[in-house]
C-alpha cells in the first residue's frame, strides 16, 4: 500500500505543480472548480444522498455558486467568505467532540451535512483563487500553501509510524496519533519558513509566517478528522476510488479544505 501511495503521489504531485504554476488565475479557477465539483459529488455520497439524480442536482447548484463566486472574487466579499470558512472550522472542533451528532441517516442530517459541505468547499475555492491572484508571486504562494499541507501529511505519516503510541482521536480515526500531529507541525513550519524565505519574507514577518503555518497545520488536522467522521457515519473506508492507494478526492483534499481558508485569511491579516 505504501508503494502504491508513493507511485500515485509521484504522478499527481508534478501535475498539481504544473496546474498551479503555469495557467492564468482564470484557467486555474476553472480547473479547481472541476476538482471541487468532483469532491462535492463524493461529499454528497458521504452525506447520505444515495440518489444520482439528487447528487446531480446538488452538483448543478454548486456549479452555480462557483460561477457567482468567480464574479465576486477579488472584492470586499473575499475577506468575509474567508472569515466564514475559518469560523466553520472552529465550529467543526465541537462536532469532533460530539462525534455522534448527525450520525443517523435522516433527511435532516443529510441536509445538515450538505450545508456543512458548503462551508468546507466554497471558502477554500475563494482562498485558492485569492492567493493565486495576489501580487507578486501569487502562483508561488499558492504552491507554498499546498506544500505546507503536503509536508504536514508526510511528516504526520512517518512520525506517527515511528513514534506514535498515544492516539489523537481513537473513536474517529484510530490510526492518527499525537506523535503524528507533532511531526505534521514540524514539517509544515519548516516548509513554510523555507518557502517564505525564498519568496522574500524576512524578519518578524518570517516569524509570523511560522506561527501562521503552525495554526494552518493544526486546522488541517481538524479537516482530516472531519472527513474521517463523515466516513464513519457513512460506514465506508474511502470517499472514492479515483486515486490508487489514496482513495477519492475528499481523501486527498480534506486537509486542504481546512488549511487554505486559514492560511489565506492569515496572509491578509498579517499583510505578508
- Cα separation, 199 vs 137, in Å, equals 8
Rounded Cα distance between 42 and 121, Å, is: 12
- 10 pLDDT band, cuts 50/70/90, is confident
Range of the domain at 241: 2-270
Cβ count within 10 A of residue 211: 13
* Rounded-to-integer distance, Cα 27 and Cα 57, Å: 25
Give pTM, 2 decimals.
Answer: 0.93
Is a pLDDT exceeding 60 seen at residue 245? no
Please give the pLDDT value at position 243: 62
**Spatial separation of the C-alpha atoms in residues 78 and 73, rounded to whole Å:** 6
Per the structure, how many domains does the chain have?
A: 1
C-alpha cell at 1: 500500500
Average pLDDT, the chain: 92
Amino acid at each position: 500500500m505504501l508503494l502504491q501511495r508513493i507511485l500515485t503521489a509521484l504522478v499527481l504531485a508534478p501535475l498539481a505543480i504544473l496546474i498551479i504554476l503555469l495557467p492564468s488565475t482564470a484557467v486555474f479557477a476553472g480547473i479547481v472548480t472541476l476538482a471541487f465539483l468532483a469532491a462535492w459529488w463524493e461529499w454528497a455520497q458521504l452525506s447520505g444522498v444515495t440518489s444520482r439524480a439528487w447528487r446531480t442536482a446538488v452538483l448543478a447548484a454548486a456549479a452555480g455558486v462557483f460561477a457567482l463566486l468567480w464574479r465576486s472574487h477579488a472584492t470586499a466579499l473575499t475577506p468575509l467568505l474567508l472569515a466564514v470558512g475559518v469560523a466553520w472550522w472552529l465550529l467543526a472542533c465541537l462536532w469532533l467532540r460530539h462525534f455522534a451528532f448527525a450520525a443517523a441517516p435522516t433527511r435532516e442530517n443529510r441536509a445538515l451535512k450538505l450545508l456543512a459541505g458548503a462551508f468546507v468547499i466554497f471558502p477554500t475555492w475563494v482562498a485558492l483563487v485569492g492567493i493565486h491572484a495576489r501580487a507578486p508571486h501569487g502562483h508561488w504562494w499558492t504552491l507554498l500553501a499546498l506544500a505546507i499541507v503536503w509536508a504536514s501529511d508526510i511528516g504526520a505519516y512517518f512520525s506517527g509510524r515511528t513514534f506514535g503510541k498515544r492516539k489523537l482521536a481513537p473513536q474517529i480515526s484510530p490510526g492518527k496519533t499525537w506523535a503524528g500531529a507533532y511531526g505534521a507541525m514540524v514539517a509544515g513550519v519548516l516548509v513554510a519558513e523555507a518557502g517564505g524565505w525564498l519568496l522574500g519574507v524576512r524578519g518578524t514577518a518570517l516569524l509570523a509566517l511560522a506561527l501562521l503555518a503552525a495554526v494552518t497545520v493544526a486546522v488541517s488536522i481538524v479537516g482530516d478528522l472531519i472527513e474521517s467522521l463523515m466516513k464513519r457515519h457513512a460506514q465506508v473506508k474511502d470517499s472514492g476510488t479515483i486515486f490508487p492507494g489514496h482513495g477519492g478526492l475528499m481523501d486527498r483534499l480534506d486537509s486542504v479544505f481546512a488549511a487554505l481558508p486559514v492560511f489565506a485569511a492569515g496572509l491578509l491579516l498579517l499583510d505578508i
